[in-house]
Amino acid sequence: MNVTVMADTIQELEQQKQQIIQQQNEAKAQRDAFLSSYNSMKETVEDIEIELQMMDSKIETLINQINANEKDLEATNQEIEKTQKEITEREEDIKEKQEVLDQRMTALYKSGTNGYISIILKSEGLGDFISRIEAVNKIADYDKKIINEMNEQKKELEEQKATLDLQKIKIEKLRAENIAKKAELDKSKSEQQAILAENQAKMKEFDEKVNYYYDLISRLEAQKQEKDRQITILRNRAQSSSSTSRGTTSANYSSDALVQYALSFRGVPYKWGGTTPSGFDCSGFVQYVYAHFGIHLSRTTYTQIKEGVAVSRNNLQPGDLVFFGYGSPHHVGIYIGDNAYVHAPQTGDVVKISPLTRKDYMGARRVR
């Protein structure tokens, strides 16, 4: 192929590229015009989605608190049972010791070889008699001392049990309050889901149109890049550039490949706690997509927002994580370019593309 022919081919490719760009711009204009007519409805849907995501986050926290309450309750019941057992053992010891003391005190009034009286009467002289009396009193005093100590231990155990009983009441009350809060949240969540379902039915055409335009723009972008590749090859040949391949530095993954992989899960249903293609929640979806490219992220939005480096909104690139919330993040998605992101929204929805227009946008992280 001579230089003139290559120049003509390059010009033809440039014209084709410009036609593709024009088609892209027309598709974007059609998409933007369609988006503008649905802004009000979309804002309502997003507000409900945000509320549901926040509810999911609160419900998860309450479930963890209820589980902790039940563990504390179980430990307290075991401690109460243990303490009650020790109290019973002390009562039996006291009863046994008291019986021994009573027998010995009774023996003071008995005669015979086994009684204390006979022992005292057998004393040899006054000194021996006094010694025997002191010995008997010491034995009785010792028994009384042991009984008093046992009663003190029993009292301490009873006080300990009373404290544990109060602690148990507090834990049960806290558990009941958390269960009531969760029930109220579950009810509110069901009501919001019903409202969301009504709005989502109206938005079905909207989602289909948006996805159509994003797919069209993506296909046109691939065509444009192919034209650029062909033009570059021809220009290199025309300039008789060195045939030595230019070295390139490969990253761990391609942002385009990651985005396309993420988009392949569109339509997968949202599942609370889901981390597989059978069902995703927002952070589980992000974690799964990145793991495919050898990038291991933590499990929740609260920890994912601390990974990688912060990225300003103006410098977003495809593959960046985008976070949403007020104060703390309750939702995350993957930026796909052209002011849009793919995400697993909330219960009752599916993995889909949404425009990056949410008012609770918090920030972005790049985890390359």
Supply the pLDDT for residue 264: 87
Q: How many CB atoms lie within 10 A of CB 51?
A: 17
The residue assigned the tokens 């549901």 is 52
Query: Nearest 5 degrees, angle CA 338-CA 342-CA 357?
Result: 55
Supply the pLDDT for residue 343: 94
The per-residue pLDDT for range 212-249, each reduced to its tens digit, is 888 888 888 888 888 878 877 776 665 543 333 333 33
Supply the pLDDT for residue 111: 43
The per-residue pLDDT for range 186-200, each reduced to its tens digit, is 888 888 888 888 877
Give the integer Cα–Cα distance in Å for 43 and 45. Answer: 5
| Residue of 282, 292, 296, 330 marked catalytic | 282
Supply the pLDDT for residue 310: 97
| Residue of 292, 296, 330, 331 marked catalytic | 331
| Domain made up of 1-242: CATH architecture | Orthogonal Bundle (1.10)
Q: Which residues of the chain have pLDDT under 70?
A: 1-8, 10, 37, 101, 104-137, 139-140, 142-143, 235-255
Which one of 3.40.50.10320, 3.90.1720.10, 3.40.630.30, 3.40.50.720 gives the CATH number of domain 251-368?
Answer: 3.90.1720.10
Q: Is 331 an annotated catalytic residue?
A: yes
| Residue of 292, 296, 330, 343 marked catalytic | 343
Domain spans of the chain, in order of start = 1-242, 251-368
